[in-house]
Structure 1
Amino acid sequence: MTASVGSYLEVAPGVEIYYEEHGTGSPLVFVPGWTFTTEVFEHQVAHFARSHRVIVVDPRSQGRSSKTLQGNDYSTHGADLAKLFASLELRDAVLVGWSTGTLDVLGYVQHAGTSALKGVVGIDMSPKPLSVSSDDWVEGPLDELAGAWRAFLRSPQGQRDFIIYYANEVMVQRALSPAEQDWIVRQSLTTPHYLASAIFADAMFCDFSAELQTLAQAVPTLYVLAEHWAETATAFLTRNFPLVKTESFGGHMMFWEHAERFNATLTNFIEELG
């Protein structure tokens, strides 16, 4: 395994995104979710850099990437990711997005298509997070999400409280240690609350259904789902995107809490690609 190299790519005037490369081999790209950073994939980097060129990226306004008032939406995040692919000349890549990082992935498909992709893994995020249909897989009722936005995402303290609640109640299935909780919260707080609020709002109003349909028809696509809504999510994906394969275990952050099982699932998916 080669040493990691952290680098920056200018994706717009005055706007840089941070990324790291680890190891050599076929490219495997990881994108974190809302307000999170490259650090969240620590277990995947350690495992897959033995055999792959692993690339982890901080999306715009997250982690060590530039904090900007412009482009805090998932279509622009996808365009940024397309520029990274072009800069690194990535081909036959497996692209993995966690949570709203899945929306970055679908935004990438919107801008760049699927020609550079060998396979895609989406971790626990609907392509259409809000819907009026009770049969759809959504983040939650509109009133509940609007209430969370109003209550939590208007101040730094509110953002901290939101992440603490979400980490303990949704992300993992066991008790977090104080150090683990602090690590999760510190990642989120690299995005100021006023930018976190804008990104959250855009995520809720996205609809990348057409892009997921295009993606699934072009390359093998796997969604790994948290247990708490797996029945609803699997039925939604099967009904609307029958080519998408699904797996389910753990909570929203199952790739971290159950890293060994997730890494085995991803290894099997990659091996099936040939």
Structure 2
Amino acid sequence: MAKESYIEVEPGVELYVLEAGEGEPIVFIPGFTFTTEVFQEQLRHFSKTHRTIVIDPRSHGKSTITLHGNEYITHGTDLAKVLETLQVKSATLLGWSFGCLTVWEYIRQFGTDNIKSLVMVDMPPKSLSLQEDQDWVEGKLDDLAAAYNTYLRNPKGQRDFISAYATGVMVQRELKEEELNWIVQQSLQTPYYIAANLFSSGLFCDYREEARVASESVPTLTIVAEHWGEVATAYLQKLAPQGKVKVLGGHMMFWEHSETFNEIIEEFLSA
């Protein structure tokens, strides 16, 4: 059974952490407004062989909702505090979506000495580009600006944004009503005004140098969704050629295709 704990990363701000299993540590960081719940299948699977840790970032899930620090520089220092408090050494860090930004920011601030390997799930290291025909990016500048201005201004907009993203990008099959409701409720645990700040912070990040350095320093695997497959693979082969790339499912492939995803991770960790 997983152990629950709260780790104070600064006075008045606690992060919720789930931990199970023993062995070499693997740490999961969820993406934009999502929580430990999305990694339940990974927690169950990897805790049989690894010390498995899953984190709610600040203002996500059961962690403290705070009006400050909702950007990825602070999220990187939060991750460092969690690892220090739990005495985690030589960890595999797995970030999904904007959780990758937390990992790259950690690397920017603290290097890779305490990292054994990296798994980056479906996030380009730079979200915006004027060279969209060459670069793997999250989307066109105008489209992302419209998403920010249209959706992330009130709770209904946040619901509509996540619902559309879930059905159009996250999952390939048709979602049951209760599944879609669960995904949307995951996101709504982060208030819309904080979600808007996280969204804009994430889109303006540039971690290309950290991605390159990381791939040269530690074994690195990037798993990308099928709709990115060709452009993302070509982009990463140029930016970080020493890293490995796998293509699977949609943006939330670890949930929809959990067995295949876990097998890919197992193979990478045992190499």
- Name the TM-score class by shorter chain: over 0.9
Work out which of the residue numbers 103, 108, 131 in structure 2 matches 1:133: 131
Partner of 1:250: 249
Partner of 1:32: 30
Distance apart, 1:263 and its partner CA: 0.3
Partner of 2:112: 114
List per-residue Cα deviations over 1:209-241 (Å, max 9, x = no partner). Answer: 111122111100000000001111111111111
Contact 1:225 1:252 in 2 (8 A): yes
Distance apart, 1:15 and its partner CA: 1.0
The residue identity in structure 2 corresponding to 1:81 is L
Contact 1:31 1:59 in 2 (8 A): yes
Distance in 2 between the 1:190 and 1:260 partners?
A: 27
Work out which of the residue numbers 94, 99, 104 in structure 1 matches 2:97: 99
Distance apart, 1:78 and its partner CA: 0.8
Contact 1:9 1:18 in 2 (8 A): yes
Distance apart, 1:243 and its partner CA: 1.2
Question: Under a length normalisation based on structure 1, what TM-score does the superposition of the two structures give?
Answer: 0.97
Note the 1:42-191 alignment, pairs <5 A. 42-134=40-132, 135-191=134-190
The residue identity in structure 2 corresponding to 1:157 is K
| Residue-pair matches, total | 270
1:228 is paired with a residue of what secondary structure?
coil
Contact 1:82 1:111 in 2 (8 A): no
**Is the aligned partner of 1:271 residue 2:270?**
yes
Structure 2: 5+ residue runs without aligned partners?
none
Distance in 2 between the 1:130 and 1:87 partners?
A: 35
RMSD between superposed Cα atoms in Å: 0.8
Distance in 2 between the 1:218 and 1:16 partners?
A: 31
The residue identity in structure 2 corresponding to 1:120 is L
1:227 is paired with a residue of what secondary structure?
coil
Contact 2:216 2:240 in 1 (8 A): no
Distance apart, 1:116 and its partner CA: 1.1
The residue identity in structure 1 corresponding to 2:129 is S
Task: Indicate the percent of aligned positions where both proteins have the same amino acid.
Answer: 52
Partner of 1:9: 7
The residue identity in structure 2 corresponding to 1:137 is W
Distance in 2 between the 1:60 and 1:208 partners?
A: 21
Question: Under a length normalisation based on structure 2, what TM-score does the superposition of the two structures give?
Answer: 0.98
Contact 1:36 1:187 in 2 (8 A): yes
Partner of 1:240: 239
The residue identity in structure 2 corresponding to 1:44 is Q
Contact 2:171 2:250 in 1 (8 A): yes
Distance in 2 between the 1:62 and 1:45 partners?
A: 18
The residue identity in structure 1 corresponding to 2:127 is P
Distance apart, 1:108 and its partner CA: 1.1
Tell which deviates more after alignment, 162-171 or 88-97. 88-97
